[in-house]
Amino acid sequence: MLFAPFGREGQQRLSRTSAVLVGCGAIGAAAANLLVRGGIGRLRILDRDFVEASNLQRQSLFHEADARQSLPKAVAAERNLQRINSDVAVEGIVADVTPGNAEDLFSGFPLILDGTDNFETRFLINDFSIKNSIPWVYAAAVASYGLTMAVVPGQTACLACLLDSPDSAGLEETCDTIGVLGPIVNLIASLEVAEGMKILAGRSSALHGHLISCDVWSGKFQSLRPERDPDCRVCVHRQFSYLAGEVQPHITMCGRDSVQIHERNRSLDLKVLEDRLAATVSGVRQNGFLLRFLVPPYEMTVFSDGRAILKGTKDPAVARSLYAKYIGS
């Protein structure tokens, strides 16, 4: 409130508004922390994954106990954020954002923040944003390098103005093998949330309108203002192919040797599944949110919405066959 460009009025506006955060890994955890401490009124957090010990180096919202319990990140984030600021309505939803559920999960929020680890989901967010005229802030990081830009429909370039397709991003293929430093994700999340807070507090005139890239290792920082593409597929021609589900969903998981399998509209009773599997496989554990078991060299984690993450392979065929065998086809 003492910071004049934001002021008491900006703070009051922030406390009466909301945002949806898509993905709560490293950037998402840092962004959620800042927004909740900053006093946003309501924050919805969407995440498909669970906490592991190897996340703790950069995912600043989670603790060792969350990893020991294999809590879904959306659940651990909600609990930890409520202990930070109990005035904020935090809603963690364990879900993978897909063309089938994106409109339901994003609707009603004046801002979408990017905490995802893949460009398919970013193009889906971009489609929703342009179609419904809702701003979003893009943020990505890998190794020591990151990028961020606020997309304001009708005013700024959109993600599709910058990149033709996920393949042209050049960031995604590498995150499995080259890691990511804690400092870059916190820096990118800070830049992302600063733009988001301007939008939420009614200070959009203060948006800098730049795509910022930075590298905490080389010390190189760049800031440029991208032009809108006069022939953009999304913001000019309004072809929302990701939202329409015309693009194959992404099934590999960033930063780990795993694939994800979707079984939509399938609700699993984890206790029943635990009892059934305990007779045939080893290491069966469940915590009310997910169930895990071992089929060496693989480890399967199944969520109550029927989704599963198979660790130990990147081959979807292997994952599908083990899923059919142990969970059902």
* Cβ nearer to Zn ion, comparing 189 with 234: 234
* Cβ nearer to Zn ion, comparing 227 with 315: 227
Which sign does the torsion angle of CA 125, 130, 133, 136 carry?
positive
Of 235, 268, 273, 327, the one binding Zn ion (CB under 5 A) is: 235
Stretch of 111-119, 142-150, 229-237, 307-315 contacting Zn ion, by CB under 5 A: 229-237
Residue 198, φ and ψ in degrees, nearest 5: -60, -45
Stretch of 42-50, 74-82, 198-206, 228-236 contacting Zn ion, by CB under 5 A: 228-236
Stretch of 45-53, 55-63, 112-120, 224-232 contacting Zn ion, by CB under 5 A: 224-232
* Cβ nearer to Zn ion, comparing 151 with 259: 151
CB of 251 to Zn ion, least distance (A): 27
Give me 230's structure tokens: 């006069």
Of 124, 232, 261, 310, the one binding Zn ion (CB under 5 A) is: 232
Helix (H) or strand (E) holding 94: strand 89-94
Considering only residues 154-173, where is the footprint of Zn ion by CB under 5 A? Answer: 158, 160-161
Q: How far is CA 161 from CA 17, 151, 254, in A?
A: 29, 10, 24
CB of 223 to Zn ion, least distance (A): 20
| CA nearest to 58, candidates 176, 162, 189 | 189
In single-letter form, the type of residue at position 121 comes to T
Binding mask 86-125 toward Zn ion (x if CB under 5 A, else -) reads ----------------------------------------
Q: Are 20 and 112 in contact (CB under 8 A)?
A: yes
Say which of 24, 158, 161, 175 is annotated catalytic: 175
In single-letter form, the type of residue at position 285 comes to R
Task: Determine whether 175 is an active site residue.
Answer: yes
Report if residue 216 touches Zn ion, rule: CB under 5 A. no
Q: Is the peptide bond before 110 cis (omega within 30 degrees of 0)?
A: no
CA distance 323 to 318: 9
CA distance 41 to 12: 9
The label of the residue with tokens 């072809």 reads: 239
CB of 107 to Zn ion, least distance (A): 22
* Cβ nearer to Zn ion, comparing 163 with 253: 163
CB of 41 to Zn ion, least distance (A): 30
Q: How far is CA 269 from CA 273, 285, 289, 293, 295, in A?
A: 6, 13, 10, 15, 20
CB of 241 to Zn ion, least distance (A): 13
CA distance 289 to 275: 16
Q: What's the DSSP call for residue 50?
A: B
* Cβ nearer to Zn ion, comparing 86 with 155: 155
* Cβ nearer to Zn ion, comparing 71 with 234: 234
Stretch of 71-79, 151-159, 292-300, 315-323 contacting Zn ion, by CB under 5 A: 151-159
CA distance 102 to 46: 10
CB of 130 to Zn ion, least distance (A): 7
Count the site residues for Zn ion by CB under 5 A. 6
| CA nearest to 44, candidates 56, 35, 54 | 35
CA distance 158 to 165: 12
CB of 125 to Zn ion, least distance (A): 13
Where do contacts with Zn ion occur on this chain (CB under 5 A)? Answer: 158, 160-161, 232, 234-235
Catalytic residues: 175
